Chains A and B, each alone.
Chain A
Amino acid sequence: MSGDPQRIMVSSRSGRVHVVARPRHDVVVRGGDSTTDAAGVLTVDGGPSDRVEIECPEGTHVTVGASSGRVVLDGSFGDVRVTTSSGRVEIGRAVSVDVRSASGAVVVDDCAGECRVVATSGRIEVGRAGSLVADNGSGRVVAGRVGGAVVHTGSGRIRIGADASSSLTVRSVSGAVEVDLPVGSTPAVHVVSTSGRTRSECAPGTDGAVDIETVTGRIDVRCR
């Protein structure tokens, strides 16, 4: 493969997919059948049960389609796309992320741009993200620090840490919602729960926006 950044597409019906991005120039694949097309895209077919292990340069764009089995991406990647029916998904660092999972936890450490996670059930954990778009049918959503967020859940607790001046929109049917902003933040706050307690400790202002609506479940917005 040549050019920078490179792109890898992996499909695996079952079996673990492990991709490691290191400071290197070549790609090493263990398991599955590999082909490279004219555009330089490396396609790896993991077959029905192969374990696939790939080492690639940092900044590589990686797309993984899996049916079951754990998907782990260690290191620093470009754009990452993962879909899986079941199995835990772990992603280290990426420029952008799109993960879709029917079940199984999704864990993203650091996403510089948009981190989009759609889950039917299972926990969503994001350490840092430029922005977060999370959709969870039933399951917790936890984000350490994001520059903005749009979150939808049917049920499950939501806890988001956000930068000052962030725009946060949360829509949930049931489950507590907690938002933590830096000390001194003065966002415009709109919090409404049909049958849950709401509380905002932040001084009102126009620096950022927090917009939360739930049917049931308490809402807490803190600036401390």
Chain B
Amino acid sequence: MSAQPPGALVFTDIVGFTQFTEQQGDERALAVLDRQDAIVRAHLPTDARVVKELGDGLFLWFADPCAAVTTCLTLQEQFAAEAGRDLPLWVRMGVHWGSPRRRGDDLIGHDVNLTARIAAIAGAGELVVSQMLVEAADLRAVDVDLHELGPVFVRGVAAPVPLYRLVRT
């Protein structure tokens, strides 16, 4: 394992995907994932990457915290524009700033686990970010509003984590 420079970690998850797959079958579910994948890869900056796919979710890494925020907001807008009953791109997203360890192309560590928990706090179409991401990013350059969610207990972490819902102004 080797150290990875600090970066923005992003987890995404499609709300209701399990039910959609059960109701509509694997082929239609695959079509949803293909479309999600195409949208994400079309908008990723060159210094960001898809670390891995996690069923209906994605694990992304960004070198720049502001780029992570602006890209995720753009992705949510793209998902919302295309979403419908045949393409339920109702995606929750969590973003955190941390220093994971690298294992091949994969990233592991506490910050990765925490990011996954943060994403689980978000609702469909929402972007929830950690205090560490807010501190790492100069959000004055980005037209966003932060809505404090307060101290949030997440599974597997002893101390509550300050989280925010982030929206474009």
Contact = CB atoms under 8 A, between A and B. Distances in A.
B19 A9 contact: no
Interface of A: 9, 11, 13, 63-67, 81-85, 98, 100, 102, 116, 118, 120, 133, 135, 137-138, 152-155, 171-174, 192-195, 213-216
Interface residues on B, range: 20 to 34
A153 to B, nearest CB: 7
B165 interface: yes
B86 A194 contact: yes
A195 B22 CA distance: 13
Contact of A83 (B16, B18, B125, B150): B150
B129 to A, nearest CB: 14
Interface stretch (B2-10, B57-65, B151-159): B151-159
B23 interface: yes
Contacts of B147: 98
Nearest to B124: A152
- The residue among A65, A81, A98, A214 with the most chain B CB atoms within 10 A of its own CB is A65
Nearest to A62: B150
B151 A173 contact: no
Interface string B75-95: 000000001111010100000
Given A118-B123, A133-B123, A215-B19, 14 more contacts: A11-B151, A13-B153, A64-B150, A83-B163, A100-B123, A154-B15, A173-B20, A174-B19, A193-B85, A194-B86, A214-B85, A215-B20, A215-B23, A216-B23
Contact of B149 (A100, A102, A154): A100
Dominant secondary structure at the A interface: strand
B17 to A, nearest CB: 8
B122 interface: yes
B109 interface: no
B126 A118 contact: yes
24 contacts: A9-B151, A11-B151, A65-B150, A66-B153, A67-B153, A81-B148, A83-B150, A83-B163, A98-B147, A118-B121, A118-B126, A137-B15, A152-B125, A171-B85, A171-B88, A172-B16, A173-B19, A192-B85, A194-B86, A213-B84, A214-B85, A215-B20, A215-B24, A216-B23
